[in-house]
């Protein structure tokens, strides 16, 4: 089904948040996860995103979820999360705070030949591989957790860079919805299938966890400026690899970083960075 | 092959059918797969050798959620909030569309989710300026 002038907007297919409500339901049914456990996992993932945002002076949201809850009079942040007044279901079972925060922004990257990069003012990072693939709506087939065009982009990038999932030290996935970002991490093999929510609850996705993700705060806390976001995601990976990410620095600076982004309706792009 | 520029519009043909509660796709003579909604060439293999087919309108609703903010065209504001579903047509294609016959409330959506996949039937949602496809829960 195509997102195009003939059918996309006229037939009302253009409802981003709803697609991710469907992904959430597909994820819960596929892995036997209760709606309650899903909600708790999304809460924990939001905590991590906003923790990262609180450690990033450039993030749009720099208030932790716990501070936000306290400011609204809640002693338990999960009660705040489950409050329909503060965090309604926008596409059941996905809540408002599981989604993107829109932002204005701009980004740029400088690419040059490897021989010119050495000896510069900044530690260079190698662009080791990339993959890109396209799709129309629906973005997924019968299984909403599997996005075939992402699979193709991942395989192309990893093949070019000669890496596998076990080589990844830092991963950014396009996380304008928390659940789709986890699904992509599982497709990549950075997280086990169906294990994303447990990883979030265990703190493994934090900057100081063993599977760090989206350390700038992700689309929710850092914000999403659409076309500019792939650049800011890459910038964050480069900062981490240089050991210059400040308070949110991954303790052992990553040697291999993977950045996955989506362009709307729908383009999957995967970039692999490594030390030069 | 017929000159592409001389092909009748698959899009016009689809909307004309939709206005009469008839649901149409194109079938590919090269790979045999269906493209729905129809376009001038096959979305699977790119062949222009396609022919129109009529669908049963029968489908299985796999998942249903809702949206508190409707799709961006103003015509959808009049029916918001509404339920939106992920479906498999009897003929095979996976489709997403508005779902009728269930309230756009978390409690109703949860009860539907716990039932598992359920049969639905296509019907045309007559809006002010354009027919829109929807699916209604059977029974």
Instruction: Give pLDDT tens digits for A146-194.
Output: 999 999 999 999 999 999 999 999 999 999 889 999 999 999 999 999 9
Segments of chain B with pLDDT less than 50: none
* Alpha carbon distance A40, A197 (integer Å): 8
Cβ–Cβ of B96/A22 closer than 8 Å? yes
A226 in contact with B, Cβ within 8 Å = no
CA distances from B95 to A79, A181, B136 (A): 36, 22, 14
Touching check for A143 and chain B: CB below 8 Å? Answer: no
- The nearest alpha carbon in chain A to B126 belongs to A11
- Beta strand pairing status for B118-126 and B131-137? antiparallel
Q: Which of chain A's residues have a Cβ under 8 Å away from the Cβ of B76?
A: 12
Instruction: Specify the pLDDT at position A15.
Output: 80
- Sign of the C-alpha dihedral computed for residues A112, A113, A119 and A125 taken in this order: positive
pLDDT at A4: 63
Nearest CA in chain B to A13: B71
User: In chain A, what are the domains?
Assistant: 1-276 (3.40.47.10)
Q: Given an 8 Å threshold on Cβ–Cβ distance, is B106 in contact with A89?
A: yes
- Whether residues B66 and A12 touch (CB distance < 8 A) is answered with no
Instruction: Show which residues on chain B lie within 8 Å of chain A, measured between beta carbons.
Output: 11, 36-37, 39, 43, 62-73, 75-76, 84-86, 88, 93-98, 106, 109-110, 113, 130, 132-133
* Residue A226 burial class via C-beta count within 10 angstroms: exposed 0-12, middle 13-18, buried 19 and up: middle
Q: Is A89 on the interface with B (CB under 8 A)?
A: yes
pLDDT at A161: 98
Centroid of chain to Cα A196? 12
Give chain A positions within 8 Å (CB) of B133. Answer: 11
Q: Does the interface predicted TM-score (ipTM) exceed 0.85?
A: yes
Report the residue of chain A nearest B10, measured CA to CA: A6
Q: Is A243 left (phi over 0), alpha (psi -120 to 50) or beta?
A: left
Nearest chain A residue to B18 by CA distance is: A11
Predicted local distance difference test score (pLDDT) of residue B3: 62
- Give pLDDT tens digits for A230-246: 999 999 999 999 999 99
Q: What is the pLDDT of residue B69?
A: 85
Q: Which of B59, B65, B99, B109 to mutate to test the interface with A (most CBs of A within 10 A)?
A: B65
The pLDDT value given to residue A2? 40
Is A85 near chain B, with CB under 8 Å? no
A8 touches chain B (CB under 8 A): no
Task: Please judge whether A26 and B86 are an interchain contact, meaning their C-beta atoms are less than 8 angstroms apart.
Answer: yes
Segments of chain A scoring below 50 in pLDDT: 1-2
Q: Tell me how far apart the terminal alpha carbons of chain B are, to the nearest angstrom.
A: 45
């Amino acid at each position: 089904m195509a997102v195009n002038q003939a059918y996309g907007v006229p037939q009302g297919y253009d409802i981003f948040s709803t697609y991710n409500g469907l992904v959430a339901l597909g994820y819960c049914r596929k892995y036997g996860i209760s709606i309650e456990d899903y909600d708790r996992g999304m809460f924990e993932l939001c905590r991590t995103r906003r923790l990262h945002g609180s450690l990033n002076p450039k993030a749009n949201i720099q208030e932790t979820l716990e501070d936000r809850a306290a400011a609204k009079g809640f002693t338990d942040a999960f009660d705040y999360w489950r409050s329909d007044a503060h965090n309604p279901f926008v596409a059941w079972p996905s809540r408002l705070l599981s989604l993107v925060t829109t932002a204005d922004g701009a980004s740029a990257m400088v690419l040059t030949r490897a021989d010119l990069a050495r000896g510069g003012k900044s530690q260079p990072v190698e662009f080791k591989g990339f993959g890109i693939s396209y799709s129309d709506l629906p973005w997924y087939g019968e299984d909403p957790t599997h996005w075939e065009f992402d699979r193709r982009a991942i395989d192309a990038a990893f093949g070019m860079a000669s890496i596998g999932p076990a080589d990844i030290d830092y991963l950014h996935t396009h996380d304008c919805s928390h659940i789709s970002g986890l699904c992509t991490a599982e497709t990549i093999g950075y997280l086990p299938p169906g294990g994303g929510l447990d990883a979030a609850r265990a703190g493994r996705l934090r900057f100081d966890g063993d599977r760090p993700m989206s350390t700038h705060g992700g689309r929710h806390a850092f914000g999403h400026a659409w076309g500019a976001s792939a650049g800011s995601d890459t910038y964050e990976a480069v900062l981490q690899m240089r050991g210059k990410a400040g308070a949110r620095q991954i303790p052992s600076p990553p040697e291999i970083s993977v950045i996955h982004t989506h362009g709307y309706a729908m383009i999957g792009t995967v970039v692999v960075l490594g030390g030069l | 092959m017929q000159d592409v520029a001389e092909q009748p519009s698959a899009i016009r043909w689809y909307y004309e059918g939709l206005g009469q509660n008839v649901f149409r796709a194109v079938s590919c003579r090269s790979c045999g797969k269906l493209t729905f909604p129809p376009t001038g060439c096959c979305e699977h293999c790119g062949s222009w050798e396609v022919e129109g087919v009529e669908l049963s309108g029968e489908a299985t609703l796999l998942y249903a959620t809702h949206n508190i903010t409707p799709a961006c065209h103003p015509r959808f504001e009049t029916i918001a909030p509404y339920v939106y579903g992920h479906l498999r047509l009897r003929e095979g294609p996976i489709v997403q569309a508005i779902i009728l016959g269930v309230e756009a409330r978390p409690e109703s959506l949860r009860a539907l989710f716990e039932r598992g996949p359920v049969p639905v039937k296509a019907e045309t949602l007559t809006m002010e300026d354009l027919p829109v496809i929807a699916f209604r829960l059977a029974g």
